[in-house]
Amino acid sequence: MAAKKEILLNAFNMNCVGHINHGLWTHPRDESLHYNTIEHWTGIARTLERGLFDGLFIADIVGVYDVYQGNVDVTLRESIQLPVNDPMLLISAMAAVTRNLGFGVTVNLGYELPYLLARRFSTLDHLTRGRIGWNIVTGYLDSAARAMGLSEQLPHDERYERADEFLDVLYQLWEGSWEEGAVRRDKAARVFADPARVHAVHHHGRYYQVDGYHLAEPSPQRTPVLFQAGSSGRGQRFAGRHAECVFISPPNKASAKKSVASLREQLVAAGRRPDDVKVFVGASAVTAPTERQAREKFEDYKRHASRDAGLAHFSASTGIDFSRYDLDAPIRYGATNAIESATRTAEQHGWTRRQLLELFELGGRYPAIVGDPSRVADELQSWVDETGVDGFNLSRTVVPESYEDFVDLVVPELQQRGVYKTAYAPGTLRRKLFGEGDHLPERHARAQFRRPAERKAAEATNDRKVEREILGK
């Protein structure tokens, strides 16, 4: 009998008042208004670690949602990811009050320089002792481009072309600038680092020019765990080359299964294993000790949710101003420069404005799993068994009770079924997720940027691992 697949869990959040399920900040028990305090975030981190969550996945944008009605009025009234503070500055505080919780932080590479971003992530990897991941995004908001002094964004596919080169520069800095053993910390010999083992990076490409040494010594993971959320064809090819964790937000299980299968094919085409990426699907959960209590809680939440805010958010995601359409009028879905997969999904379903508003009954676009712990666990297992996903990014509803309810009620149910861990595995975030090493595996294409001696050592370690597996059979 095959062992049951262990479900992975991230909490999905953002350094703002309203994230995915809009309007719930008005609920009397919601504490999202305290998003700009340290105590708010350290409290969430402690709760998630108590529930053995694998990570806190923090979204981010660097523009505003101004497509709906052609302005930011609804965005400001409902606080639709505005105001939004820097997510990276939260990590150190939360890491200080936890020991195992991972952190996936979103950074849009379109408005960053690889040389300095490499140092910021290395710093966080040191301070978290190897618990940092990077959610790589290429951007989709024209408002962000204008705010950064550009007339418009690069075209969708070209954004990924630039991202490929950005990653190449980062791999050279993280993987190749400092050799293993370069840092000696030898007080007696007055040698902190061996100059012969530290190398300058010389990169002259289409988008980036870098001549310099990585400013940080090698961190526990060197390269942070790489998250990615693109579901377009070009986005999946990017994921096939780079990603270790992929976040998808399909409308149903059939669509999820198709996305997962396509992604696994991209991994094989890139010379990697089909299971080299963990796939997380977005979901919301509303639970209580009994089915009746869960339904009553869900109805209570819905009274505070804002469907209109959900539609305004979706307008920004697709680049389509849905306010211009009557409730049942057909919507002209065409090519936009926003999130290609979101627009394609809406077009395939032929969603009208009325249907979209119905979908956003909890203020957001993710499916809501409502019920007692057994029902919620059944549905989570069903998604894993029927689609091939590895886990979930659970978006918040009413904070902090949505996290506390899940930890206190659903986690024990999952553990009892043998599909959720009862203790954290040791080591870095990468080691916890994959059960292998702290660094990118040798089969990851970007391991080529390691120095030859390091590649040889990594290959020897892998050979020993394979030999142990053979002898253990």
**Residue that the structure tokens 């869960």 belong to:** 294
Any domain includes 117:
yes
Read off the amino acid at residue 385.
D
Number of folded domains in the chain? 1
- Where in the sequence is the domain holding 245, given as residue range(s)? 8-469
CA distances, 442 to each of 118, 219, 367 (Å): 20, 18, 37
According to the model, what pLDDT value does residue 330 have?
Answer: 85
215-261 tens-digit pLDDT: 999 999 999 999 998 777 888 899 999 999 999 988 899 999 999 99
Q: Which two tokens stand for residue 142?
A: 């024209």
pLDDT at 284 > cutoff 90? yes
Confidence of residue 338 (pLDDT cuts 50, 70, 90): low
pLDDT at 412 > cutoff 70? yes
Confidence of residue 306 (pLDDT cuts 50, 70, 90): very high
Burial of 467 (0-12, 13-18, 19+ CB in 10 A): exposed
Any domain includes 86:
yes
Any domain includes 373:
yes
Q: What is the C-alpha radius of gyration for the chain, rounded to an integer number of angstroms?
A: 22
Confidence of residue 467 (pLDDT cuts 50, 70, 90): very low
Adjacent-strand bridge partners of 308: none
433-455 tens-digit pLDDT: 999 999 999 999 777 888 765 54
Q: Which two tokens stand for residue 238?
A: 């990017």
CA dist 378 and 369 (Å) reads 10
Give the closest residue to 346 by CA, choosing from 360, 336, 329, 331. 331
Any domain includes 3:
no
Any domain includes 255:
yes
Q: pLDDT averaged over the chain? A: 92
Residues 6+ apart with CB under 8 A from 103: 55, 56, 58, 91, 94, 95, 124, 128, 131, 132, 133, 429
Any domain includes 2:
no
CATH value at residue 205: 3.20.20.30
pLDDT at 456 > cutoff 60? no
4-42 tens-digit pLDDT: 899 999 999 999 999 999 999 999 999 999 999 999 999
Any domain includes 169:
yes
Backbone torsion region of residue 152, taken as left when φ is above 0, otherwise alpha when ψ lies between -120 and 50, otherwise beta:
beta
CA dist 181 and 456 (Å) reads 14
CA distances, 6 to each of 1, 91, 395, 436 (Å): 15, 26, 20, 16
Any domain includes 1:
no
SS3 annotation, the chain:
CCCCCCCEEEEEEECECECCCCCHHHCCCCCHHHCCCHHHHHHHHHHHHHCCCCEEEEECCCCCCCCHHHCCHHHHHCCECCCECCCHHHHHHHHHCCCCCEEEEEEEHHHCCHHHHHHHHHHHHHHCCCCEEEEEECCCCHHHHHHCCCCCCCCHHHHHHHHHHHHHHHHHHHHHCECCCCEEEECCCCEEECHHHECCEEEECCCCEEEECCCCCCCCCCCCEEEECCCCHHHHHHHHHHCCEEEECCCCHHHHHHHHHHHHHHHHHCCCCCCCCEEEEEEEEEECCCHHHHHHHHHHHHHHCCHHHHHHHHHHHHCCCHHHCCCCCCCCCCCCCCCHHHHHHHHHHCCCHHHHHHHCCCCCCCCEEEECHHHHHHHHHHHHHHHCCCEEEEECCCCCHHHHHHHHHHHHHHHHCCCCCCCCCCCCHHHHHHCCCCCCCCCCHHHHHCCHHHHHHHHHHHHHHHHHHHHHC
CA dist 70 and 10 (Å) reads 34
Q: Which two tokens stand for residue 226?
A: 């790489």
114-126 tens-digit pLDDT: 999 999 999 999 9
